[in-house]
């Protein structure tokens, strides 16, 4: 079989140009990403939450552009080739239906800011912090240290709980008193404790409150609700529990516990 050196040279040139185009696309993608990060860091008021995600999107866009250019370089009759795919195109389309759905869902999630990197959320039966947002899946780091990859289509169609939409969040603690204790005095003491509690957050729209919760099996129950800043959410509950126990002991209020009376019947 005679080798057509003209064809070899022609394809070598096309492949070489294609490689150069791919490398240039990668370089341009990195330059664009670094430029956006640099501008965001220097500009006040810009909160760049999608550093990793934005890099993925830029790389995807540059790869798509490079792919079309490379195909047009390699195949001069690109249009007729597409028309000739026929049934093969349908088969390929069905094969990539799910990945394509995840890709579209990932783009919609990013555009609508459904979740952002570093955010504490609950998605379906999983809760934790968003570690990374990609086009086809979301990496969620659970509170016990596990890493879960959730398809973006699942994220898009799920109900999502955002634990920290603001820098403050309401916390609460339940307290019970004995049936022999004075309810108004107990509520007055709880109000005094929470109003003097240093870790609480308070403004015109966020005030602490003590509410009657119900008559329990062995106690009269109240709930103390208050607002705290994010770093104090867990520690504030521990500190408040210590203060309430100390004040109740000093003021003579009993925090009851469940008791069972057994009566022995003689035969």
Taking the chain (267 residues) in consecutive chunks of 10 residues, what is each chunk's mean pLDDT?
65 80 83 73 54 69 76 64 50 56 79 83 90 85 90 89 85 91 92 93 91 89 93 91 93 77 65
pLDDT score at 80: 57
User: pLDDT at position 22, please?
Assistant: 82
Give residue 39's pLDDT: 67
- pLDDT at 91 (0 to 100): 45
Domains of the chain: which residue ranges?
5-84, 114-162, 168-251
Using only C-alpha atoms, what is the Rg of the chain? 31
Report field, pTM of the whole predicted structure over 0.75 = no
What is the spatial distance between Cα 171 and Cα 155, in angstroms, rounded to a whole number?
27
> The domain at 168-251 falls in which architecture?
2-Layer Sandwich (3.30)
pLDDT at 245: 93
The residue with tokens 């339940």 is 174
In this predicted structure, what is the pLDDT of residue 192? 94
pLDDT (0 to 100) of residue 40: 62
Question: Which pLDDT does position 29 carry in this prediction?
Answer: 80
Which overall architecture, per CATH, does domain 114-162 show? Answer: Roll (2.30)
> 161 forms bridges with which residues in the sheet?
122
Q: Which residues of 64-89 are buried (b: 16+ CB within 10 A; e: fewer)?
A: eebeebbeebeeeeeeeeeeeeeeee
């Amino acid at each position: 079989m005679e080798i057509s050196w003209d064809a070899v040279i022609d394809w070598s040139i096309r492949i070489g140009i294609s490689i150069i185009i791919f490398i240039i696309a990668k370089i341009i993608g990195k330059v664009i990403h670094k430029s956006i990060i640099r501008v965001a860091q220097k500009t006040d008021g810009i909160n760049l939450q999608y550093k990793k995600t934005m890099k993925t999107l830029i790389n995807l866009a540059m790869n798509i552009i490079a792919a079309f250019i490379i195909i047009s370089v390699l195949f001069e009759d690109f249009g007729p080739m597409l028309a000739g795919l026929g049934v093969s195109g349908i088969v390929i389309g069905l094969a990539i239906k799910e990945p394509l759905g995840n890709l579209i869902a990932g783009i919609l999630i990013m555009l609508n800011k459904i979740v952002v990197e570093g955010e504490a959320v609950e998605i379906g039966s999983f809760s934790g912090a968003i570690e990374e947002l990609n086009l086809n899946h979301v990496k969620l780091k659970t509170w016990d240290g596990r890493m879960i990859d959730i398809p973006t289509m699942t994220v898009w169609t799920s109900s999502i709980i955002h634990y920290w939409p603001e820098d403050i969040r309401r916390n609460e603690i339940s307290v019970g008193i004995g049936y022999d204790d004075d309810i108004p005095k107990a509520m007055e003491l709880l109000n005094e404790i929470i109003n003097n509690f240093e870790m609480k957050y308070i403004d015109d729209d966020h005030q602490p409150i003590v509410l009657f919760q119900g008559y329990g099996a062995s106690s009269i129950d109240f709930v103390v609700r208050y607002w705290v800043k994010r770093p104090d959410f867990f520690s504030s509950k521990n500190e408040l529990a210590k203060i309430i126990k100390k004040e109740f002991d000093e003021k003579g209020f009993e925090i009851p516990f469940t008791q069972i009376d057994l009566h022995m019947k003689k035969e």
